[in-house]
Structure 1
Amino acid sequence: MVWMVNQQVGRGRSRTWGVALLCWLFIMLVTPKIPLSYRNHLYADMRNFVGVPNTLNVITNFPFLIVGVLGFVLCLGGGSFFNIRLPGEMWGWLLFYGGTASVAFGSAYYHLRPDDNRVLLDTLPLIPCIAIPIMTFLFPPKYTHSRYWLWTVGVFILAKMEALADMKIYRANNYIISGHSLEHLCSAIAPVLVTVMLMHRSCRFPRYSNFKVQNGNS
């Protein structure tokens, strides 16, 4: 019975993700491009070091690459390190870590020359910030340590607050690092929290194979 419930929850979750993806693609295709004010592409720290425009806003994306690549490699090891038991789940986490690594390239590419044509690549990290709380409240957790999802949302909220206080933070620390650069570093903590969750979690429900073994021994 527990196994059947898990299967139904898994199918419902897959359908929800599929519908959400289709809706997102539809909106992206039919929505006309809305030009942003040039002020949206002006940041507090626009210093140029060693020939790299907006240097700190570019290099502070590097942690995304580290976390993404490490997580991707660990998932490729069969999923045993993260207690991943289903092939479909492993593919999902491979996509997650691959997307995390791609954030480093997308955001860095945007900050090298901020404009309307590149801004989408910088806003992709907002997607998990929206999806995580929705999935957390819609579906019961199958694993322990699910509170890490909420902590991840909290980190994203803190990062957005740092971005809004870009210039204020920059002035407060005597022009060392801006709020937007701190937003990048803070956002990179989110996949780290998810990784810690994967390392320590355990399944809340017995596996179907365990039921078969128990029934065979009885």
Structure 2
Amino acid sequence: MGWVVKQQLMRGKRTRIWGGALLCWLCLMFATPKIPLSPKHHLYADMRNFLGVPNTLNVITNFPFLVVGVLGFVLCLQRNFFNIILRGELWGWALFYAGTAGVAFGSAYYHLKPDDNRVMWDTFPMMIAYSSLFSSFIVERMGEKIGLSSLFALLLFAFLSTAYGITYNDLRLCMAFQLIPSMAIPGMMYVFRSKYTHSRYWLFAAGIHVLAKFEGVADRKIYRVNRYIISGHSLEHLCLAIVPVLLSIMLMNRNMKFQRLGDHKERP
């Protein structure tokens, strides 16, 4: 009887989450103005060229994504270093690291010659990484079945958002998609308990992600403040690369919580 009640409560929480996500999407589409691509989107503060490489620092600061992404992907496949129990988690984390490595190529390609034709090569790998990361979080908190269904749904939504942005020249869905994890993960942490330890790293990663976005918005101001050494956008790249590093540390150090002590554990 208790198991049935628990399952009903879980379904109710899931319904409220997806209902809230749908409501947020409707508010976004009907209450916010269209955000079209414009030449201003491609004018970054630091456009210096070194050794013949256009926009050098904005290009080379993508290299950490490649290092962390490849290492994380290899460690996922070896399954000796990361504490990943479920197959659904393995798929999600492996795709997250693959997407992170893809960001290095897509973003570098875009920053070599920033324009409307290349911008989605920068955006789409990032959206794949976010989709996979969020689905891994859902597997950890809500179960493998709903996590895998979320993975496919989010990947589809990432593709449709990219197609919508290209077709209708509107970046709202792509921009909102990049903010979903940092907004949803902290709130969901206090609704759904984790079966692992070291869950605080999710909060650290969400905080670093928000900080990186602020650095990107303050691109020119940061560039002026540090006397034109490095721009806010380049710092955004470096800051975002810290996110998979933090999550890798979490995966290496976390352990399953004992079921019999689960009710006495504090929420992360």
Query: CA distance change for structure 1 residues 54 and 74 in 2, over 3 Å: closer, same or farther?
Result: same
- Work out the CA distance in 2 between the residues paired with 1:137 and 1:110: 38
2:170 is equivalent to residue 169 of structure 1:
no
The one-character-per-residue Cα deviations of 1:137-187 (angstroms, maximum 9, x if unpaired) are 553211111111111111011111111111111112221111100000011
Contact 1:35 1:116 in 2 (8 A): no
Name 1:84's counterpart in structure 2: 84
Contact 2:182 2:207 in 1 (8 A): no
Contact 1:148 1:197 in 2 (8 A): yes
- Work out the CA distance in 2 between the residues paired with 1:168 and 1:34: 22
What is the CA distance between 1:120 and its match in structure 2? 2.7
- Work out the CA distance in 2 between the residues paired with 1:60 and 1:131: 27
Corresponding letter in the other structure for 2:204: W
- Work out the CA distance in 2 between the residues paired with 1:174 and 1:188: 24
Name 1:50's counterpart in structure 2: 51
- Work out the CA distance in 2 between the residues paired with 1:42 and 1:94: 34
Of residues 232, 235, 238, the one that matches 1:185 is 238
Name 2:257's counterpart in structure 1: 204
Query: CA distance change for structure 1 residues 111 and 134 in 2, over 3 Å: closer, same or farther?
Result: farther
Query: CA distance change for structure 1 residues 96 and 35 in 2, over 3 Å: closer, same or farther?
Result: same
Query: CA distance change for structure 1 residues 44 and 75 in 2, over 3 Å: closer, same or farther?
Result: same
Corresponding letter in the other structure for 1:89: E
Corresponding letter in the other structure for 1:204: K
- Work out the CA distance in 2 between the residues paired with 1:103 and 1:130: 21
**Aligned counterparts, 1:84-163, within 5 A:** 84-123=84-123, 124=126, 126=178, 128-129=181-182, 132-133=185-186, 135-163=188-216
The DSSP-based 3-state class of the residue aligned with 2:237 is helix
The DSSP-based 3-state class of the residue aligned with 2:114 is coil
The one-character-per-residue Cα deviations of 1:167-211 (angstroms, maximum 9, x if unpaired) are 11111222111110000001100110100111111111449xxxx
Stretches of structure 1 lacking an aligned partner (at least 5 in a row): 25-32, 208-218
Bigger-Rg structure (1/2): 1
Query: CA distance change for structure 1 residues 138 and 109 in 2, over 3 Å: closer, same or farther?
Result: farther
TM-score by length of 2: 0.62
- Work out the CA distance in 2 between the residues paired with 1:108 and 1:75: 25
- Work out the CA distance in 2 between the residues paired with 1:129 and 1:105: 23
Query: CA distance change for structure 1 residues 165 and 46 in 2, over 3 Å: closer, same or farther?
Result: same
Name 1:216's counterpart in structure 2: none
Stretch deviating more after TM superposition (181-190 or 170-179): 170-179
Name 1:27's counterpart in structure 2: none
The DSSP-based 3-state class of the residue aligned with 2:198 is coil
Question: Percent identical across equivalent pairs?
Answer: 68
RMSD: 3.3
The one-character-per-residue Cα deviations of 1:2-34 (angstroms, maximum 9, x if unpaired) are 9xx89x98xx98xx89xx8xxx9xxxxxxxx96
Higher relative contact order (CA 8 A, sep 6+): 1
- Work out the CA distance in 2 between the residues paired with 1:201 and 1:50: 44
Corresponding letter in the other structure for 1:51: G
What is the CA distance between 1:119 and its match in structure 2? 2.0
Name 1:38's counterpart in structure 2: 39
Q: Aligned pair count?
A: 192
Stretches of structure 2 lacking an aligned partner (at least 5 in a row): 26-33, 128-177, 261-268
The one-character-per-residue Cα deviations of 1:33-81 (angstroms, maximum 9, x if unpaired) are 964121111000001112211110011011011111111111111x231
Query: CA distance change for structure 1 residues 162 and 137 in 2, over 3 Å: closer, same or farther?
Result: same
